[in-house]
Amino acid sequence: MIEITEYSRETVALPPISLEDQERMRQALGGKLAVAWLSDDRVELRATSFVGSIHLTPDLRVRVIPKLAGGNLGVLTMLALTNGCSIHDLPQYLRGLSADSSEDAVQLLCRLVVTNTEALVTRGLIRDYRGHADDLPFLRGRLDTYRQATVYHGKFTALACSFDEFDYDNVENHLLLAGVSVARRVSLDAQIRRRAAAVQERLEQIAPTLPSTRALLATPIVYGRRTEPYRAAHTWCRALIDLSRVNDANESVLRVETFLIDMNRLFEQFVEWLIAQVMLAPEIVVQTQERNSSVISVNGASRRSIAPDIVLHSGMRKCAIDSKYKQYDDKSISNEDIYQLLLYAQCYVGFTHTPTSYLVFPASGAQTPEMTVELAVPSEGDERKVRIRAVGIPLAAIVADLRRGETEHLDTTISALRRVLSSAVPSAAGTKQSPLP
């Protein structure tokens, strides 16, 4: 097992493989991990923002460890918060997990899914009514006159019945079944796989009509007295199922197994959650991943679109907020990101005299560093400016606090974001802020 941190590189000794297998490996990885075969039976591994485990060959398994998020438990904390876990419930969700665990975040997630689902099965699963239709030799429930007239016209061999079943075949149990099915496939721990198989078999017997993954994740679940015990298990199941949709295995002769967490995408979701906590003002509408295809045209026709991570609306005015999972407190903002954010500032001019866009990135320390980048555009009689306001958030410190039930760094970060963004939205500066939950 080779362990490297995200955005780092490592050179290891490994016998060479054929050029065809090298190409298959590159296609299977898809940029999640860069692999370069060197001379003298060596290979260079270069990690990106994907963390988790990769089984490259029978002799080489790579584990990419998160750094900016504060380790594997930091990643699990972000997954829980972005999948609906409240701040107050978070310490209970993560109890029993050690920060020194040898398992990566994905394997810990599998363990959480299986453990919480087992607890629910032992406690007792809920039953509910669901609509059902069947053709029976006797009448049960209501007669479906349309189906009876069209399918059994002039016949009395069967009656088209519509009735309600009171059983375990409901969306709450379907989500558990989908979660343990993924855990059984992904977990590297033989004991976890056996436990997942046992729970999966039990759930398949009582909730067999599993819908598609897309339909399952899109179905809202309202938690009340009966369903509240499901909340923690559902949080971890949703996270694992969502991850499984972007990971797969190459079924070629050279099998490359990947199950990784995209920290870029997870950090974007975490920043969206964080901006929701900021709550600028009631009249400010927060829109995520708003795609705008009307600002760039080619030969008069709209051909290109832009999609900032977050757009703040107030009437007809808008400003853009983008998140980058890069450690910009130790280095300058890259030219590519500067160009992108300056474009956002031109397209979403914001609420200030100088068009401004905003950048949020993870800081390495416990402070909230800030920086301003300006573009001066010469014009007749004056000089126009376009501005980028960048704010670093102490990501590792925030998630570590929240796991202990503390909010000191979160409160400080939200205050800093409110101060920076209050200049973006003038009405927010004088608005009483809602307290944190």
Residues in Cβ contact with 228 at an 8 Å cutoff, skipping those fewer than 6 apart: none
> Are the C-beta atoms of 395 and 360 separated by less than 8 Å?
no
Q: What pLDDT sits at residue 246? A: 53
- Euclidean distance between CA atoms 346 and 320, whole angstroms: 10
Overall residue count recorded for the chain in this entry: 437
Q: Phi first, then psi: give them for residue 266, nearest 5 degrees.
A: -65, -40
The partner residues of 118 in beta bridges, in order of sequence, read none
DSSP 177-216: HHHHHHHHHH---HHHHHHHHHHHHHHHHH------HHHH
Which contiguous run of DSSP H or E holds residue 12? strand 9-13
What is the reported pLDDT for 363? Answer: 92
Task: Specify whether the CB–CB gap between 321 and 357 falls below 8 A.
Answer: yes
Q: Residue written as tokens 């102490």?
A: 394
pLDDT one digit per residue (tens) for the chain, 437 residues: 788 888 888 888 877 778 888 888 888 787 888 888 887 778 888 998 898 888 877 777 888 888 889 888 999 999 999 988 889 888 888 877 766 666 788 888 999 999 999 999 999 999 988 888 889 888 888 888 888 888 888 787 898 999 888 888 899 999 999 999 999 988 888 999 999 999 999 999 999 888 888 888 888 888 989 999 999 999 999 999 988 765 544 444 445 667 788 999 999 999 999 998 887 667 778 888 777 776 677 777 766 778 899 988 877 788 899 999 998 988 889 999 999 999 998 888 777 788 899 999 999 888 888 998 988 877 766 778 889 999 999 999 999 999 988 999 999 999 999 888 876 655 444 444 433 43
- Global pTM reads 0.81
Q: Which of 194, 170, 168, 197 is nearest to 181 (CA)?
A: 197
Point out which residues pair with 136 in neighbouring strands: 159
Signed CA dihedral, 260, 264, 270, 273: sign only: negative
What the block records as the tokens of 17 is: 């493989």
Closest CA to 33 of 23, 42, 44: 44
